[in-house]
Amino acid sequence: MAPALVLRAYDPADAAAVRRICFDTALFGQPLRPVFDDEALVAEALEGYYLRYEPELTFLADAAGTLAGYVSGCADTRLFHRRYARGIAPRLLGLFLLHGHWLRPAVWALLLASARAARTWRDVHGVLARDYPAHAHLNLAAAWRRQGIGAQLFDRLLATLRARDIRGLHISAASAGGQAFFARAGFQRLAEYPAPAILGQPPHTVHVMGLKL
Ligand SMILES: CC(C)(COP(=O)(O)OP(=O)(O)OC[C@H]1O[C@@H](n2cnc3c(N)ncnc32)[C@H](O)[C@@H]1OP(=O)(O)O)[C@@H](O)C(=O)NCCC(=O)NCCS
């Protein structure tokens, strides 16, 4: 029998499990490890902000002690950019140097592609943040997908944002599954841009999608 699933608030003791799922879904919904194996750096880049600054907007799907997935939100994307530059970027630089990546040309190429995409993301999101000030990420471990868990987790975040009178929410989805999920959830496509080029991967397009709350 499948274990009962509980949706619950994030606790700092969950950090390692959340970061693992983040890393395991970072390559367009698939594990990033074959391309870049630094889980600490990638998870800090993609998830560090939410766990450190707005942990009350992360919710988990817990299957009898095993983490099936999480959703993480940010209520104010403009504030996110300021905090990211001051609080997360220096940590990333520290990990980059400490882990010796500056000696590896392939990592430089990946980082430059990510930095270019991050700049585009920042420009697009700065404009969107007026009407859709919140943003979110939703990731499930592979074994738990297509069972309605993502929809339940996302509803939990939406209810919390609505209770805080936030007027809109946007997401960026590069995976086909993510794009289909958010279209089904009523999101409108607002912008798109090329995902960072990753060696050996076909090109992907990031869809920026918004929902008025
Ligand atoms: C995308 C993701 C979050 C969806 O969560 P989920 O629990 O698998 O989705 P649900 O079962 O709640 O699906 C709800 C609806 O979304 C749509 N949907 C979800 N995944 C889909 C997929 N892979 N392909 C097409 N439609 C999909 C369907 O309409 C589905 O309803 P249905 O099953 O009745 O047809 C999850 O599959 C995932 O974590 N994928 C990898 C990481 C990722 O891509 N994250 C999104 C980036 S922010």
| Cα 13 → chain centroid | 19
Average pLDDT over residues 24-46: 93
Segment 43-53, tens digit of pLDDT: 999 999 999 99
Q: Please write the tens of the pLDDT for every residue from 60-107.
A: 999 999 999 999 999 999 999 899 999 999 999 999 999 999 888 888
Strands in 168-173's sheet, in edge-to-edge order, are 5-9, 58-63, 66-74, 134-140, 168-173, 205-212, 188-194
- CA of 83 relative to ligand 1 center, distance in Å: 30
Q: How far apart are CA 74 and CA 170, in angstroms?
A: 10
Angstrom distance (rounded) from CA 107 to CA 178? 26
Q: What is the pTM of this model?
A: 0.94
User: What distance in Å separates the CA atoms of residue 123 and residue 199, rounded to the nearest whole number?
Assistant: 25
Rounded distance from Cα 174 to ligand 1 centre (Å): 13
Q: What is the pLDDT of residues 171-180, one digit of tens each?
A: 999 999 999 9
Residues with Cβ within 6 A of ligand 1? Answer: 25, 29, 137-140, 145-151, 171, 173, 175, 177-178, 180-181, 184
| CA-based nearest residue to 110, from 26, 25, 20, 12 | 26
Contact (Cβ atoms closer than 8 angstroms) between residue 96 and residue 159: no
User: What is the per-residue burial (b if ≥16 Cβ within 10 Å, else e) of 69-92?
Assistant: bbbbbbbebeebbebbeeebeeeb
* Structural domains of the chain sorted by starting position, each given as residue range(s) with its CATH number in brackets: 5-167 (3.40.630.30)
70, 10 contact by CB (below 8 A): yes
Instruction: For residue 136, give the ligand 1 atom closest to its CA.
Output: 48
